[in-house]
């Protein structure tokens, strides 16, 4: 599956989120809540793959950042990684397609997300997700998406997903 097909599936799922769950974005709920709802919509787009939130396994092993990364003991800052959403073939790593990290606008703590996206999409790494998407939600108005591939940000592929006009019939 190519990048454009993944982008189209993400756009469709985010449009469902805007349409059905805008209140989650407006009420400043935890990013995990938004991730879980988005994963639900993505599941209907990826019928032959698994869509999981905070899935921290590579086979039976725990997913970890490379050895040169900072090691701490708490869940959100340590070497163990919990991707917000992944699209993959659960348990065997034969189709690691997409990793998605989510932030709400104003949450400037993006450094760790970017490290995860780079590490998990790197060809030289042990995960080799084909694509990474960094979604930054601006309340219920739009989502800015930065794209990562081969361990690097691909600025030419970045895009925005506007919230649908709810007053206009779909």
> Per residue in 122-151, pLDDT tens?
988 778 899 999 999 986 689 999 999 999
Right CATH number for 3-162 from 3.90.1570, 3.40.50, 3.30.1070, 3.30.70?
Answer: 3.90.1570
Quote the CA–CA distance of 154 and 22 in Å, as a whole number: 28
For the chain, what is the mean pLDDT?
84
Quote the CA–CA distance of 103 and 31 in Å, as a whole number: 7
Q: What is the pLDDT, as a whole number, of residue 28? A: 80
Q: What is the pLDDT, as a whole number, of residue 80? A: 67
pLDDT for 17-45, tens place per residue?
A: 999 998 998 888 889 999 999 999 999 99
Quote the CA–CA distance of 56 and 147 in Å, as a whole number: 21
Query: Is the pLDDT score of 73 beyond 50?
Result: no
Query: Quick one: which of 93, 102, 103, 105 has its CA closest to 139?
Result: 105
Quote the CA–CA distance of 79 and 106 in Å, as a whole number: 25
Q: How far is CA 123 from CA 29, 119, 155, in A?
A: 34, 9, 18
**DSSP calls for the chain:** --HHHHHHHHHHHHHHHHHHHHHHHHTT--HHHHHHHHHHHHHHH-TTSEEEES--EETTEEPB--TTS---SSTTTSSB---SEEEE-TTT-S---EEEEEEETT----HHHHHHHHHHH-TTSSS--SEEEEEEEETTTEEEEEEEETTEE-GGG-EEEEPP-TTS--
pLDDT above 70 covers a percentage of the chain that reads 81
Query: Is the pLDDT score of 78 beyond 70?
Result: no
Q: What is the pLDDT, as a whole number, of residue 42? A: 98
Quote the CA–CA distance of 107 and 116 in Å, as a whole number: 17
Enumerate the β-bridge partners of residue 61.
Answer: 58
Quote the CA–CA distance of 155 and 16 in Å, as a whole number: 25
pTM above 0.85, yes or no: no
Burial class of residue 98, CB neighbours in 10 A (0-12, 13-18, 19+): buried
Q: What is the pLDDT, as a whole number, of residue 148? A: 98
pLDDT above 90 covers a percentage of the chain that reads 58
Q: What is the pLDDT, as a whole number, of residue 167? A: 46
| More confident call, 71 vs 156 | 156
């Amino acid at each position: 599956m190519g990048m454009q097909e993944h982008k189209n599936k993400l756009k469709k799922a985010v449009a469902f989120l805007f349409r059905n769950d805008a209140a989650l974005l407006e009420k400043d709920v935890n990013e995990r809540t938004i991730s879980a709802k988005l994963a639900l919509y993505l599941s209907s787009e990826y019928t032959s793959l698994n869509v999981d939130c905070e899935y921290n396994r590579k086979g039976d092993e725990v997913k970890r950042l490379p050895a040169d990364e900072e090691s701490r003991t708490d869940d959100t800052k340590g070497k163990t990684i919990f991707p917000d959403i992944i699209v993959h073939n659960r348990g065997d790593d034969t189709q690691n397609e997409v990793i998605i990290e989510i932030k709400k606008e104003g949450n400037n703590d993006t450094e760790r997300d970017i490290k995860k996206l780079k590490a998990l999409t790197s060809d030289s790494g042990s995960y080799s997700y084909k694509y990474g998407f960094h979604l930054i939600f601006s309340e219920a108005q739009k989502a800015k998406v930065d794209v990562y591939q081969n361990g690097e940000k691909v600025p030419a592929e970045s895009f925005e997903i506007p919230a649908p006009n709810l007053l206009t019939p779909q």
